[in-house]
Chains A and B, each alone.
Chain A
Amino acid sequence: MRIFSVLLKKEFKLISRNRVILIISTLAPILQFLILPMVASYEFKNINLAIIDHDHSSWSSRLINKIKGSGYFIISGYENNFSEALIRMEKNEADVILQIPPGFEKNLVREKEQNLLVAINAINGTKAAIGGNYLGDIIKRFNKELTVEAMPVQGAVISRPNSIPLHRFNPNYNYRMTLVPGILCILVTMIGGFMASLNIVEEKEKGTIEQINVSPISKVAFILSKLIPFLIISNFIFSVGLILTKVIYGIGLQGDLITLYVAINIYILSVLGLGLLISTFANNQYQAIFIMYFLIMIFMLMSGLFTPVESMPDWARFMVHFIPLYYMIDVIRLIMLKGSGLIHILPQLSMMALLAVGLILLAMLNYRKTT
């Protein structure tokens, strides 16, 4: 026990003198918090729209005004024909092209049906889909307006009533709700994963680990002495992040604090376990950084933070179940945004705990005082 406290004391002293850790611990949360969510808005505005109006009727003008008034689009120009508009698109001056055919209003009245051409620069897949959605929405609403206007007054059947969906859990229509908690997890991952791993590898590089291996310190004590400081630091960073989340983004905690901290600590342990495992393989920091970066990058991409896990093919969805970050991002969203309790997230927590224990055990097995 005494030996353990001696070990811990040394770890904390060294960490407090490590300029890099200190700067990162304070800088990273700020950076990620302020910049990332501001950057990562999927609410698209200022989509450049080129319009070709062959009709010049009152209805075509009304539609164009509606589009202008929506706030999503900027009219890049009124072109004379499609090929001219395409040139604009090639030059990246237009993201979307709307072409209204000649005789639009007349034909709509006569034949009750008309087509509009919407061409989207689909290179950016998301923007295309969303831009298409917006435009489709506006056209639909315009369509409805015309339909309602044409109705005789006495409450006839509204042919295709659209139900108004109930939006749960997001009263403020915040577009960043799911992103920010996810970023919190990434933060913790980087600190816990990178720093803990590098810490041990640095001892390997400098040779001080030999001194430890030659002494009667048990490897369990040694590993724990490395885990605990970073567990504490990660908790600290998480807490700061949590406060920033509330203060800057207005995203508060719907669930309870204890559940949240239990969850995040299980996650931190799994990340630390991974960092530890890597440190038993890597001989120097260069290698450790590289391996860690590689793994964390894959985790981030596959965790469901940026793209939905449901749209992955089966083999990918299977693999995702071995990634602790996947569970944590799910869980943090559940607890923070929906107020889920321990009962609701038990399966996720157990998986994470399993992974954490597995990784730490593997690391302990792999670490040898005697080679």
Chain B
Amino acid sequence: MTNEPIIEIRELTKKFGNFTAVDHISFEVVKGEIFGFLGANGAGKTTAMRMLCGLSTPTSGEAKVAGYDIKTQTEKVKRMIGYMSQKFSLYDNLTVWENLEFYAGIYGLRKKEIREKGEQLIIQLQLQDSSNKLVGSLPLGWKQKLAFSIAIFHEPAVVFLDEPTGGVDPLTRRQFWEMIYEAAHRGITVFATTHYMDEAEYCDRVCIMVDGRVAALDSPAKLRASFEVSSMDDVFYQLARAATRVE
């Protein structure tokens, strides 16, 4: 992990009418970092992330992802990032292999590359027997791992994960985070939102959003120390108690 910033955010704001979902947030994420973006439901995490992905235009403020401005160079940003949504966004009616081919294809990978890397990936995920099965028939945990692998298949600079581990058993979650470590090791910055506080422990740094603002930003260890508590859960409770925005 270097100190080179890969995401730079300055006074980023998003308003919906009178409602300020994201309120002038500013921070940086460095390359290769596993950055956790935490907060209660409605705290503004997803809205902020969508702006960084180029899915939503900021009301004011600036941000750069992989060196490109999210407002003026949105399409360039999209070439540099990967994304995995809460619904996993795979096509249920396409097979594992077909989903892979499709998404790899739209990021510009060549057929040969897709075939070689793809075969490797299938083995890694132990999906050899299911590679020709429709994704809709796969159990949740496999879908999730597959979605993540597809999101980083094109070696993006940053991969954005929106609540990626919803509804999955603890073992699968563990395996998932191992995949995230592996990706970060390869230099892919991981930006993940979650409301599972125990997952926060896996991150290099964690940002906790409350009422659309950054309430805390540091490594899990330092946060626990500064709040004098023993778990990230407790850190969160301390901060959330002061929150005015309820979902």
Q: Mark A334-371, 1 if CB is under 8 A from B, else 0.
A: 00000000000000000000000000000000000111
Which of A9-17, A137-145, A275-283 touches B?
A9-17
Q: Does A213 sit at the interface, judged by CB under 8 A?
A: yes
Is B108 in the interface zone, CB < 8 Å from A?
yes
Q: A171 at interface (Cβ–Cβ under 8 A)?
A: no
Q: Is the interface of A mostly helix, strand, loop or mixed?
A: helix
Evaluate contact between B102 and A10: CB separation under 8 angstroms.
yes
Contacts of A3 on B, CB cut-off 8 Å?
Answer: 105-106, 108
Task: State in angstroms the CA–CA spacing of A217 and B104 once bound together.
Answer: 12
Within 8 A of A (CB), among B68-107: 74-75, 78-79, 81, 83, 85-87, 89-94, 98, 101-103, 105-107
| Residues 193 to 223 of chain A near chain B (Cβ within 8 Å) | 206-208, 210-218
**Residue A18 interfacial (CB < 8 Å):** yes
Contacts of A14 in B (CB 8 A): 91, 93-94
A2 in the interface, Cβ–Cβ < 8 Å? yes
Inside 8 A of A371's CB, which chain B residues have their CB?
55-57
Within 8 A of A (CB), among B121-178: 134
Task: Give the contacting residue for B106; candidates A6, A206, A370; CB below 8 A.
Answer: A6
Complex: chain B residue closest to A208, CB-CB: B89
Q: B39 near A: Cβ within 8 Å?
A: no
- How many interface residues does chain A have, given as a range? 20 to 34
> Do B85 and A10 touch across chains, with their CB atoms under 8 A apart?
no
Closest to A16 in B: B93
Bound CA–CA A211/B92 (angstroms):
14
Selected contact of B89 from candidates A10, A207, A218, CB within 8 Å:
A207
A2 to B104 alpha-carbon distance, docked (Å)? 11
Task: Please name 5 further chain A to chain B contacts, defined as beta carbons within 8 Å, in addition to the given A208-B91, A216-B108, sorted by A numbering.
Answer: A3-B105, A207-B89, A210-B85, A215-B78, A369-B74
Q: Which residues of B contact A (CB under 8 A)?
A: 53-57, 74-75, 78-79, 81, 83, 85-87, 89-94, 98, 101-103, 105-108, 134
Interface residues of A (CB under 8 A from B): 2-3, 6-7, 9-10, 13-14, 17-18, 206-208, 210-218, 369-371
Could you list 13 A-B pairs, sorted by A, with CB under 8 Å?
A3-B106, A6-B102, A9-B101, A10-B91, A10-B98, A10-B102, A14-B94, A207-B86, A208-B91, A213-B54, A215-B107, A217-B106, A369-B55
